Structure 1
Amino acid sequence: MHTPTTFLQLSPAIQLHLVAAVAALVLGPIALRAGKGSAMHRGAGYAWAALMLAAAASSLFIHDFGRPNIAGYTPIHLLTLATFAGVAAGIVLAIRRRVGAHRRTMWNTYLGGCVGAGLFALLPGRFLHGLFQHALGGL
């Protein structure tokens, strides 16, 4: 089987997942650091939540049968469930004006769903590690 080495060779689900995840990784700190209730916070927050949901939803169409799995879903897919739950809880907490809980939930979702998942995906032996290694010329 041929392993894709460029973005355009990836499946549409993986393309969407990568774009949404990278955009969420970049936009997250803007949403998290913008002034509470400001237009920047709300706009960046809504966009970040949508990107996180897109990344989580697209991950449901990414399967890995080369690792221990259940129907192609590997342990990293547990982060999909955590992301759905974290984003939903964060939105509900904001609506209920539970600012402290909203802040903690969104920070935890960012750290786990963006930073943690990203670091896990870059481990040697993972597809993204190989893609980056190829892009960097085998460094």
Structure 2
Amino acid sequence: MFHSPIGLVHLVSALLAMVAGAVVLLNRKGSPLHKRIGYLYVAAMLAVNATAFFIYRVTGHFGVFHWFALVSLASMAGGMVPVLVRKHISGWIYWHYYFMSWSVVGLYAAFWAETFTRVLPMSRFWPAVVVATAGTMMLGTVLIRRNAAHLLPVRLPKAAG
């Protein structure tokens, strides 16, 4: 099942990131639990992305999944930089929320791709990855938009006059 120690680290880190990402997304934001589990998620994702650059089993060369690892790193940077310099960025919470939420959605989309490499022949692999990724992204869009409502400023009705 494991092709190398790097593959094992990649798998364990990805599973840890999937659990941590779900916990962060499903619990109250800004709490000490959110922060601790969030940093665990970031650490696990750094391991996932770092090990991804050493895995070439699917294509034999630097390919689409390696590019997605770069996108994942950019997404995490987009979510963490505003947190780290929040005193200098107005609306930092929006940047953090959207980038980190999309980071988790991307991780789940990658899960489907990795799963399909194990169970499908290559002739069915790419269509299945496209459909599963599109479905994951659509569900992610709905959940991210629904949960973002608590971040939006409350608009008070104008006074009659």
TM-score computed with the length of structure 1 as normaliser: 0.75
Return the structure number with greater relative CO, CA threshold 8 A, min gap 6: 1
Matching of residue 73 in structure 1 with residue 62 in structure 2: yes
After TM superposition, list the pairs within 5 Å mapping 1:26-105 onto structure 2.
26-64=19-57, 67=59, 72-97=61-86, 98-105=92-99
| Same amino acid, percent of matched pairs | 30
| Alignment partner, residue 135 of structure 1 | none
Whichever residue aligns with residue 11 of structure 2, its letter is L
Which whole-Å deviations, capped at 9, do the CAs of 1:78-102 have from their partners, x for residues lacking one? 1110111111221112223311111
Q: State the Cα RMSD in Å.
A: 1.7
In 1, distance between residues paired with 2:119 and 2:77?
30
Instruction: Select 1:107's aligned residue among 101, 104, 116.
Output: 101
SS in 2 for 1:99: helix
Q: Does 1:129 align with 2:119?
A: yes
Counterpart-to-counterpart distance in 2, 1:79 and 1:25? 16
Contact 2:10 2:52 survives alignment (8 Å): yes
How far apart, CA to CA, are the structure 2 residues paired with 1:129 and 1:58?
22
| CA distance, structure 1, for counterparts of residue 5 and residue 70 of structure 2 | 21
Separation in 1, partners of 2:40, 2:98: 18
Give me the whole-angstrom Cα distance separating, in 1, the residues matched to 2:29 and 2:85: 14
Deviation at 1:33, TM superposition (A): 2.8
Q: In structure 2, what is the equivalent of residue 119 of structure 1?
A: 112
TM-score (norm 2): 0.66
Work out the CA distance in 2 between the residues paired with 1:81 and 1:29: 21
3-state SS of 1:122 partner? helix
Superposition deviation, residue 74 in structure 1:
2.1
* Unmatched 5+ stretches in structure 2: 87-91, 121-161
Aligned length, in residue pairs: 115
